[in-house]
Amino acid sequence: MKPAVRTGNHYITGDVACAEGAIAAGCRFFGAYPITPATEVAEHMAERLPDVGGTFIQMEDEIAAMASILGAAWTGVKTMTATSGPGFSLMMENLGLGVCTETPCVIVNVQRTGPSTGLPTQTGQGDMMQARWGSHGDYELIAIAPSSPQDCFYHTILAFNLSEKYRVPVLVMADEIVGHMSEKVVIPDAREITLVSRPRPKGRKDRFRLYQPGPDGVAPMPAIGEGYNVHVTGLTHDERGYPVMTPEAQEEMMTRLKGKIRNNLDDIIRTEEYRMEDADIVIVSYGISVRTGLTAVDEARRLGYKVGLFRLITVWPFPEERIHAIAARVKGLITVEINLGQVHYEVERCAHGQAATYLVGDAGGKIIHPDKVVSLIQEVFQP
């Protein structure tokens, strides 16, 4: 066995940093299917997991990959898969199963440009609404958007921690540039990494109820084979885990599934601010486009505009109240994202007419140049 945490300074890609973050977070099962630009996550896991007593399996497609991590999660291990657009689409039904059965797991989507095969080797942020609503039905989950290889390391750990704590699939919404570029990644000492594990059942096994929530709305999770009664189903189920085909049971289950996220937004949502103190124009961005935003802020400030950046680290659940509050005190909100308007419309919704909202988008295939943002600012605002 080799150490799970490769403490030190590294020069690695975001894909490799994701894999290292997962292993540091305690991931010991990885099932995936090769797809550009996420293949390197799988390739690195194939090399690394045997070192730490974990299991890597290349599955026969993405349906199987997603199914395998759900199955493995119920044995008590932390599990992950990695994919990109077309594979992400194939995972959607099982993603919903993961939400419904409250199965902790992490899905990395190294986004490329779609729709369909699109530009397989080029960047995009067009899967953000799919991340939110891609599986059928009404539900809540968590999605995190890394902006650098260093983020890939920490955000994958964060994804595991939130997934374990809230028993929900967590999506790491990277993109081709973040996934493929190499940068310095500092991996800290293992003792400096905080790890969270799923709540575990206590007490009499014969009285155990699989989905009886604790005080934070999350039910303790046993592993298959420990003696607790485990009946896992995607049918609407009661606290015991058994199917109940009534609207009342549906309402109770949905209240728990949505409540455990909606009632813990302050704990889940993570954002960052840059030069926001006196800003009256705010760029909202996430993932690789944050780097466009950072440069645009400095450029626009040089030209005399009071611009700041509001970064979404967690894109879902959406920081509705924060955006609403910001909109109340600024002239305009500019969303920068590599699609033709997805999170932009969420910003517009939450701004609720208090501030003007603008999109600096791109059809995909390239990072957005900061000049495009600065030009918009010069066009519509006075310094």
Partner 1 sequence: MAEKTTILNLTEEEFVHSGNRACTGCGLSIVYRIGLKALGKNSVLVVPPSCLTVLQGLYPVASTKLPCVNVTFASTAAAATGVRSAMMALGKDDVNVVAWAGDGGTSDIGIQALSGACERGDNIIYICYDNEAYMNTGVQRSGTTPQGVLTTTTPIKGKLQVKKDVPAIIAAHGIPYVATASAAFPLDFYDKVKKATTIHGPKYIHVHTPCPPGWGFDTRYTIKVGKLAVETGLFDLYEIENGSFSLSAPSQRLVGKKRPPVSDYFAAQGRFKSLDTDMVNTIQQQVDAKWAA
Ranges of H-type helices in 101-229: 128-133, 149-166, 176-180
User: Please, what's the b/e burial string for 122-161 (b: 16 or more CB within 10 A of its CB; e: otherwise)?
Assistant: bbbbbbbebbbebbeeebbbbbbbbbbbbbbbbbbbbbbb
8-13 and 27-32 beta bridge pairing: unpaired
Residues that bind partner 1 (CB under 8 A): 33-36, 39, 42-43, 46-47, 50, 56, 58, 60-61, 86, 90, 116-117, 120
182-187 and 332-337 beta bridge pairing: unpaired
Question: Which of residues 50 and 243 has its CB atom nearest to partner 1 in the complex?
Answer: 50
Secondary structure letter of residue 175 according to DSSP:
E
Question: Which of residues 90 and 152 has its CB atom nearest to partner 1 in the complex?
Answer: 90
Q: How far is the CB of 143 from partner 1 (least distance, A)?
A: 24
Q: How far is the CB of 196 from partner 1 (least distance, A)?
A: 29
Question: Which of residues 36 and 314 has its CB atom nearest to partner 1 in the complex?
Answer: 36
Question: Which of residues 85 and 293 has its CB atom nearest to partner 1 in the complex?
Answer: 85
Q: How far is the CB of 233 from partner 1 (least distance, A)?
A: 24
C-beta separation of 236 from 227 below 8 A: no
Euclidean distance between CA atoms 214 and 98, whole angstroms: 19
Q: How far is the CB of 85 from partner 1 (least distance, A)?
A: 11
Token digits for 255?
Answer: 């209240």
Residue with tokens 């049971």: 249
Question: Which of residues 117 and 182 has its CB atom nearest to partner 1 in the complex?
Answer: 117
Question: Which of residues 36 and 292 has its CB atom nearest to partner 1 in the complex?
Answer: 36
Q: How far is the CB of 119 from partner 1 (least distance, A)?
A: 11
Q: How far is the CB of 84 from partner 1 (least distance, A)?
A: 10
